[in-house]
Structure 1
C-alpha cells in the first residue's frame, strides 16, 4: 500500500560501482530462493501500470498505460471498464500512470499530456468514481498539478503518488532524461514533491520560503522514481532507476539532495564515469543499490498478517530484473533480503486480507498467498 494513515483503503562478491573515483561498499545480492507463496492468475490486461483497492470490498482499480482504467474483482478477475478517463498522450514510457484512492475517496490519476510542439509532461488530477447499474464512470475530473517545464522526449515521467500520515500528497517527478533539471530550482523535474490534496505546496515544505515552484519541493536530485510508499512508522521510502547500474532504494528525508546526476553508484550509458556516492558525502546516499540494474517498479511496505515474516518490509518489482524483491527494513536502515524469480513486475499492491498482488508487464494480474 502507498498510504500512511490510509493503509487498507482504496488505496556478487565485492560490489563496486561500474565506474567512479571511489569504491562503493560491498552489498551482497541474496540468492534467488524458493517461493514461500503460491501464485494464482486473476485477470489479464494489455499494458497494466498501477493498481489500488477500493474501500470495503474486493474490487480494485487497474490502470493501463494506453489510457484504460478498469474496476477488477480481485477474486474472480471480472473486469468492468471505467468511462470518463481523461485523454492521455501515449508514447514511449508515457501514458496513463498511477491510480490512488485519496481523501474523500477521490480517485487520483497521473498521466502524460502533450504540450507545445513535441513537448509533454506528467499531470496529476482527481475525480469521483460513480457506479450505476453495473457501469462505472469517472466524473468531475480536475487536474491539480503539472510537471514543469514540459520538455521533449518520452521518458522518466515517474509520476507516482502516495498520501502521507500528515495528509499531504507526495508526487514523484522524474528528470525526463534531461539530467541537470534534477539539481535546478527553476522547475520541478527530478524531485519528490509534497502537495496538498488540491495540488498546492504543502505548508512548511523545506524550500517554502523561496516561493514559486520551489515551494513544492520535498527532496531533490532524483532520476526516475517509480515507487514510493510510507512505512507504518511514517518514514517515506522510494526507489528509482539508476543509469547503467546504480538502481536505488532511498529513505526520503525532507530537504535532502540525493545527488543525481552529480553522483550515482552506476555509470552513464556507454561507460561515461559518474562519481560514486561516497565521493560526495553532502548528498544523501541510497540505503540499497544494485549493480547491474534490476529496473525497479512498484513498491509497498507490507503491513498484512498473511505473511507475518514480511511485516514492515519493502516489496518491490524488478522489470529487467524479472523478480519480486523483499528489502528488510529496520527503522531507518534497509538491506537486501529475498529475490524470487518471476517475469517483469510492473506493480506491487497489498490486498485487504494481506494477499500480495502483482501486475506483470506482459499483462497478467497475479495473487500471492502463503504456500
Structure 2
C-alpha cells in the first residue's frame, strides 16, 4: 500500500472514532419498548417493505419478492394477495418497495407502488406504477396499471433504489431516488438518481420545480446530492423531512428545501467503506448540511411524523425505523431543528413505521418471518 494511502486510511479511522464517541454521547440510552408501549403482534410477513392504511382501517403491505397483501387486522388469517402487481427485480436491495394511496383514494381507488424494474443488459432501476384497487367476491386486483415514473438511467447493481413516496397537501407526489451506489449521478442533472423529486399525481414534473428550465429529467428535481434516502414525511407545517443512509457513518436527517444541494458524494459526515475519507459538510458551506446525523449509524429505513391522539405529547415528532440499530428512534422536531429524544430497542431490524387511524404506532420488522407490531399506550 502506498504511504499516502496508509496515512489517509489511518486519518479516516481516527476521525470516524472521534465522531462515533461524540455522537454516542448525544444519543439517549436505548429503552425497551415494553417500558412505554403495549406491544401486540398482529401478523407475520415474508420480507415486508412498506404498509399503507386504507380509510376503513385495513392495510396494504408489500413484500419485497413481489407480493402485495390486503390485510384486515381483525382477521389476518384472511389476508388477500392482490393480483396484478408488476413484475419486479428481486435481488440485492431490489424488489417490491413502497405503497401509498392517492389523497383521493376514497373516490378514485388509486394505489401507487414503487419497485425495482429490469432493464437491458442486466441493468435495473426504480419505477413507480399506479393502478385502481378493485375488490370483488373476496378477491382484490390492481386494474389499469400504468408505469408513471422511472429512474434514469438504469444501471448495474442491486442497491440504493430509494423509491419512498409521499403526497403533500396539494396532491403532489414526492419521490426519493437513490444514487444506486454510483456516487456521481447524485450531482448530475441529466440523471434523476440521488435526488428528491416533485411530481404531479400522473408522474409528470410539477410546475414550479427549481430546475425546470434545464428540461429533461432535471424538470422533476427538487433537491440533489442524496445517497440512499429511505424515509420521507411532511410535518404539520408542511416542511419536508428526508432521512438517508450515510456511507461508513453519517446517517442523515435532512430538511428538504427547494433547489438545495445536500452534497453527496462531495461531502458526508461519514467515510467511504474503503476507509478513505470524505470531507465533512462543514468544509463545504455551499452544500446544505443535515439537521441531525448519526455516527454510529442507525441505518434509517423509513419515517413518519406522528399526528395522532393516542400519544399527545409526541404529536409532531418523527419516528424513524432503524435497521442495523434494531431500533425505533423518536426525533423531536422543533421548527427547523431536531434532536433524538428516545431510542426504543426493538430487538429486530425495523423496515417500516406508520400511524394507524386510532393513533397507534405500527412497525414492520425486516426479513423473513417478520412481525407486524402494534404499539399502543400502556
CA distance in 2, matches of 1:82, 1:34: 35
Decide which of 165, 170, 178 is 1:166's aligned counterpart: 170
SS at match of 2:217: helix
CA distance in 1, matches of 2:74, 2:286: 49
Decide which of 359, 362, 368 is 2:364's aligned counterpart: 359
- CA positional deviation for 1:19: 3.5
**Greater C-alpha Rg:** 2
Partner of 1:40: 40
For the 8 Å contact 1:161–1:169, the answer to whether it is kept is: yes
CA distance in 2, matches of 1:104, 1:315: 25
For the 8 Å contact 2:321–2:351, the answer to whether it is kept is: yes
For the 8 Å contact 1:58–1:75, the answer to whether it is kept is: no
Instruction: String of CA shifts for 1:312-357, please: whole Å, max 9, x gaps.
Output: 0000110000001000001111111100101100000100000011
Decide which of 27, 30, 42 is 1:29's aligned counterpart: 27
Note the aligned Cα RMSD (angstroms). Answer: 1.7
CA distance in 2, matches of 1:258, 1:284: 5
Q: Aligned ranges for residues 103-142 of structure 1 at < 5 Å?
A: 103-105=103-105, 106-142=110-146
CA distance in 2, matches of 1:74, 1:230: 26
CA distance in 2, matches of 1:365, 1:17: 38
SS at match of 1:83: coil
CA distance in 2, matches of 1:276, 1:45: 39
Does structure 1 residue 329 correspond to structure 2 residue 333?
Answer: yes
SS at match of 1:192: strand
CA distance in 1, matches of 2:338, 2:293: 10
SS at match of 2:218: helix
Decide which of 346, 350, 355 is 2:355's aligned counterpart: 350
Does structure 1 residue 65 correspond to structure 2 residue 67?
Answer: no
CA distance in 2, matches of 1:216, 1:179: 19
Partner of 1:3: none
SS at match of 1:197: coil
For the 8 Å contact 1:221–1:258, the answer to whether it is kept is: yes
CA distance in 2, matches of 1:213, 1:268: 28
Structure with a larger share of its residues in helix = 2
Could you list the runs of 5+ residues in structure 1 that have no partner in the other structure? Answer: 1-15
- CA positional deviation for 1:153: 0.2
CA distance in 2, matches of 1:92, 1:24: 28
Partner of 2:345: 341
- CA positional deviation for 1:17: 9.2
SS at match of 1:117: helix
Does structure 1 residue 144 correspond to structure 2 residue 148?
Answer: yes
Task: Give the alignment's TM-score, normalised by structure 2.
Answer: 0.91
- CA positional deviation for 1:294: 1.3
CA distance in 2, matches of 1:294, 1:23: 14
Could you list the runs of 5+ residues in structure 2 that have no partner in the other structure? Answer: 1-11
Does structure 1 residue 369 correspond to structure 2 residue 376?
Answer: yes
Would the alpha carbon gap of residues 346 and 195 (structure 1) be closer, same or farther in structure 2, given more than 3 Å must change? same
SS at match of 2:132: strand
- CA positional deviation for 1:43: 0.5
- CA positional deviation for 1:289: 0.8
Does structure 1 residue 237 correspond to structure 2 residue 229?
Answer: no
Task: Give the alignment's TM-score, normalised by structure 1.
Answer: 0.92
CA distance in 2, matches of 1:42, 1:80: 15
Would the alpha carbon gap of residues 17 and 270 (structure 1) be closer, same or farther in structure 2, given more than 3 Å must change? closer
Instruction: String of CA shifts for 1:56-91, please: whole Å, max 9, x gaps.
Output: x12000000000000111244341110111111111
